[in-house]
Structure 1
Amino acid sequence: MPLVHISLRNGKPPAYRQAICDGIYHAMRETFDVPEDDQFMVVTGHESADFRYGASYLNVARSDDLVFIQITANATRSVEQKKALYQSIVRRLGDSPGIRAEDVFINIVEVARENWSLGHGLAQYA
């Protein structure tokens, strides 16, 4: 049950933002064994003054089209699955909406299964 936070600069149309969500969802289905309809994502736009990044940190040439993707998920995936997820997201977002690989920044936050309540005040995974 990943929870995905997507941050980007303001100004992108709804179809662009929807393509990002779709690409991430399909990549998670492909590589992370995420069930159908397990879609919990939020997209946040930021003014340029509120969106900072290292334009060349680790020799990656980033632009103002940078997208931060933070995925909170159960600590159950292997390193190989994570690498496959990164590659799948970059490929899919390159295809649609056309984001350069250099502008896809992904972070996974792993949590214990008991750290989720998906409704009704229950710990469904505990």
Structure 2
Amino acid sequence: MYIVSIWLGKGRCPEYRLAIVNSVRRAVLRAIGIPKDGYRVFVFEKELPDVRQDRGCSCLAGENSVVISFSFDVASGVQTVLLDTVEQNLAENPGIPCEDIHMSLIRCAVAG
């Protein structure tokens, strides 16, 4: 099973979290063609200093930062399309600027 993990600062309203999840789901469907029942999305809320420490990333600065990690087995060209599409979708709704979006893709094979 493929996995998408999303880390947000605490206190985000349900509509904001849902907008992020929906933006990611649309990007996955468009870039990779995997329907929403083909992977799981987990959303974690933490104080931002904890996000910085847990993810080992010192570049997170804004209180509206979002960290997204994809565990998918996709080709390099598709990775770029996926990450670019997620960035575009999040900029449109819920309006997160690209400097507050931090993504990683971990290639993993799914046993069949």
TM-score by length of 2: 0.86
Q: Give the number of the structure with larger relative contact order, counting CA–CA contacts within 8 Å between residues 6 or more apart.
A: 2
Relative to total residues, which structure has the larger helix share, 1 or 2? 2
Q: Tell me whether 1-10 or 31-40 shows the greater mean CA deviation.
A: 31-40
Q: What is the rounded CA distance, in whole Å, between the counterparts of 2:45 and 2:103 in structure 1?
A: 16
The one-letter code of the counterpart of 1:2 is: Y
CA contact (8 A) 2:4 2:40 kept: yes
2:73 maps to 1:69: no
Identity of aligned residues (%): 25
Could you say which residue in structure 1 is the equivalent of 2:12?
A: 12
- The structure-2 alpha-carbon separation of the partners of 1:43 and 1:36, relative to structure 1 and needing over 3 Å to count, comes to closer
> Aligned-pair RMSD on alpha carbons?
1.7
Q: Which runs of 5+ in 1 are unaligned?
A: 57-61, 115-124
The one-letter code of the counterpart of 2:93 is: S
Q: Which runs of 5+ in 2 are unaligned?
A: none
**Residues paired across the two proteins, number:** 108
Which of 83, 91, 94 is the equivalent residue of 2:91? 94
Q: What is the rounded CA distance, in whole Å, between the counterparts of 1:36 and 1:64 in structure 2?
A: 28
Could you say which residue in structure 2 is the equivalent of 1:42?
A: 42
2:24 maps to 1:24: yes
Larger Rg: 1
Could you say which residue in structure 1 is the equivalent of 2:104?
A: 107
The one-letter code of the counterpart of 2:71 is: T
TM-score by length of 1: 0.77
